[in-house]
Structure 1
């Protein structure tokens, strides 16, 4: 049955943050244009500055950010100069305040302060020049241009800074999810190492004691030495078999438990999980053990190598299919640990297929003949 995520995914948070900030800047920019634009020239200049602000926000994390951002900065700065000095529009500071904040916050720390002060100096210089050359009283000019331009600029800075803070928060969530996934893989390795220690540590200790006893009795009680060595031989054989079972995840492996474990690991990493039972039948014990190992190996691969947001596991009476949306590229996937599993599945009469395409990675194991054997 499907699992309802406790929280929205990081991708949804990014989209939500971008939508809120993008919509807010659009609304404020449109309001400023409708209130302050008194002719076509002012409308065009303010609209151009707003477009530059929106593009810089939209390309915040794009691959060509700097080329786009510097172009937007040049456009918004020009709109500031023309809008304030030529068209008498204090609202022209809105675009450059958004774009400038975006640029400053993306710069390395050592460059932020000088670039920020340069942009402040640009706005202050343009507004001061307009105040000094404006006709009429100085008080009216100060009220209209200083207060108006500064207020509008502060609004733009606030919106762009909010976008940066939320984006940083989401990035930290993603890094935390990656660390959690690595911890989950490490815990699985520790669990495997603990099982291996339980099997071989006890056996080696007993073997050591029995060999020591046999050495003491080798000249005095040959029959007892033979019995001790027979027990050692038998114990070593049992340990080899248990180690093979552990390596193939057959030792105490339960498919239902593996499904629940995979669900918990994915949800801990912030991945939405949906588990479906397609036909209501349960696979037999031999098939279930193999399918559990396929599920475990696939879970580990997704946590370590994919950037998945959604995983769907579909279980039938004869197989399992695991689909995730974290695949990159279209080239044939490297099987890694699944290569050994494919050999085992085929020896047991099944098939293991791995496909990548359209951003999805599909792992499917099936034993079509098992249904007929029931």
Structure 2
């Protein structure tokens, strides 16, 4: 199932999703057809009882009018019930106002039909069937606050109508005897219908509601997956653009200073600006397409060059080999963000990048001086560094891999430490197909 989002981000419709959607629709029609079959049986039984009861009452004009009114009420009851049954497709409503117009539309005709049992003892209590069916049906259409109140009120009304019928006609049968039901007691019919109708109607609606909620949960899970992927891409873009823009700004400033006294040096810095901009555009396209791989050695080289161009003495330790997999990617981001923060926030004269591999873990430490004196006492500067979105994003990346991340001032130095398991597997919230479907 494809879900549209800003930036034309969609989840591809896979074969399993299409099969799931087809099964969902098939189950709905099966549930609805089962309910309609039950309704049709109940209305047919009521119709048969009414016809036989009216025939037993005689052939007078009043009897015919009475019988016609009952049949009209039965048809109206059936039509309104069948029509509103399609609303079950949305599942059980949990809240909201009680739709009294629905209660009236579905319940008035069956109630009048049930009360009509008082006018003809030959018809028995068969007219109560559509009303009891309507009570169960309406209960499935109402939100929680009114659902069970109406159901129990309807049950009480059914019992009251039956009690009045027994008072008016103490010797009458509960049900007109049909050819197929001879020898079966009236009480057995009453108990069977009384239990069967709400159990099937409300049970079917409850089961369908569970399927609807499951489908909604799966859709919400897909939406959350896409939202997480968008946040990941946003974090990647922040890191890339922040790093490269800082480099471009620094090199442009150096070119501006050199343009008078060293035109050749200025041209060299302008060339680096162009290359940095080109690299930023390429990496941005790669991130958005989900194909970007952070080269660890490249990150170290870039960080040392940038810091050196800014007049910072940068020392590198422990780069004996190239990292691979998730540690390479995660620690590459740490180098980027740490070097960017040094250029932005510190007045550094020296910096140190140190990598230590113990066999199970890889630890990267980035240290720089130049922390302002106010940073040593929970200063505003330190808070700015620690609360920056870049460092928080790094912390999330490292912790997702099962590692540890620390960043803070130590005396006149600021130290960033990241430890990642060697066998860490990059945690991704959605399939890479999502990233491949988004164009820069």
Q: What is aligned with 2:269?
A: 229
- How many angstroms does 1:33 deviate by? 4.4
Return 5+ residue gaps in structure 1 as ranges.
Answer: 254-260, 266-291, 298-340, 342-374
TM-score (norm 1): 0.51
Aligned to 1:186: 227
Report Cα offsets for 1:296-318 as digits up to 9, x if no partner. 58xxxxxxxxxxxxxxxxxxxxx
| Residue equivalent to 1:78 | 112
CA distance in 2, matches of 1:123, 1:112: 17
Supply the RMSD in Å over aligned alpha carbons.
5.0
Deviation at 1:154, TM superposition (A): 2.4
CA separation of 1:137/1:189 partners in 2, compared to 1, >3 Å: closer, same or farther?
closer
Structure 2: gaps (5+ residues): 1-12, 57-66, 91-98, 177-183, 293-429
- Matched with 2:125 is 90
Distance in 2 (alpha carbons) for counterparts of 1:140 and 1:238: 88
Match of 2:40 in 1: 26
Find the residue that maps to 2:31 and give its secondary structure.
helix
Instruction: Report the secondary structure of 2:15's partner residue.
Output: coil
After superposition, give the CA deviation of every residue in 1:274-324 in whole Å (9 maximum; x if it has no partner): xxxxxxxxxxxxxxxxxx99x758xxxxxxxxxxxxxxxxxxxxxxxxxxx
Which string of whole-angstrom CA distances, capped at 9 and with x for unpartnered residues, describes residues 67-103 of structure 1?
A: 4542331111111121365243233222111211222
Q: 8 Å contact 2:115–2:161 — kept in the other structure?
A: yes
Of 81, 84, 87, 1:59 maps to 84
CA deviation vs aligned residue, 1:204-234 (integer Å, no higher than 9, x gap) = 575688799x69x98xx96996587346413
C-alpha distance in 1, partners of 2:194/2:53?
A: 22
Q: TM-score, structure 2 length as denominator?
A: 0.45
Query: Partners of 1:139 and 1:233 in 2: how far apart?
Result: 95
Q: Per-residue deviation at 1:176?
A: 2.0
Query: Closer, same or farther in 2 for the Cα pair 1:137/1:175, shift >3 Å?
Result: closer
Q: Whole-Å Cα distance in 1 between the matches of residues 175 and 130 of structure 2?
A: 24
Which residue does 1:16 correspond to in 2?
30
Q: Distance in 1 between matches of 2:290 and 2:188?
A: 75
Choose which of 202, 212, 220 in structure 2 pairs with 1:161.
202
The answer on 1:3 being equivalent to 2:42 is no
2:155 counterpart of 1:123: no
What is the CA-CA distance between 1:190 and the residue it aligns to? 2.7
Q: Does 2:282 match 1:242?
A: yes
1:139 deviates by 11
Residue 34 of structure 1 and its aligned partner are, at CA, apart by 4.3
In the alignment, structure 1 residue 176 sits paired with structure 2 residue 217? yes
What residue is the counterpart of 2:361 in the other structure? none
**Distance (Å, rounded) in 2 between the aligned partners of 1:236 and 1:149:** 85
Task: Output the CA distance in 2 between the equivalents of 1:129 and 1:144.
Answer: 20
Distance 1:50 1:69, change over 3 A: farther
- Does the aligned pair in 2 maintain the 1:14–1:167 contact within 8 Å? yes
Written as runs of structure 1 = structure 2, the 5 A alignment for 1:201-240 is 201-204=242-245, 226=266, 229-230=269-270, 232-240=272-280
TM-superposed deviation, 1:196: 1.8
What's the secondary structure of 1:154's corresponding residue?
helix
Distance, in Å, in 1 between the alignment partners of 2:289 and 2:247 is 24
Deviation, structure 1 residue 22: 0.8
Higher mean Cα deviation, 119-128 or 170-179? 170-179
Distance 1:17 1:121 in 2: 28
Q: How many residues are paired up? A: 257
What are the superposed Cα offsets for residues 96-153 of structure 1, whole Å, 9 maximum, x if unpaired?
1121122234334333444333322221111112223334499999x96665334323
Mapped partners of 2:215, 2:237: distance in 1: 33
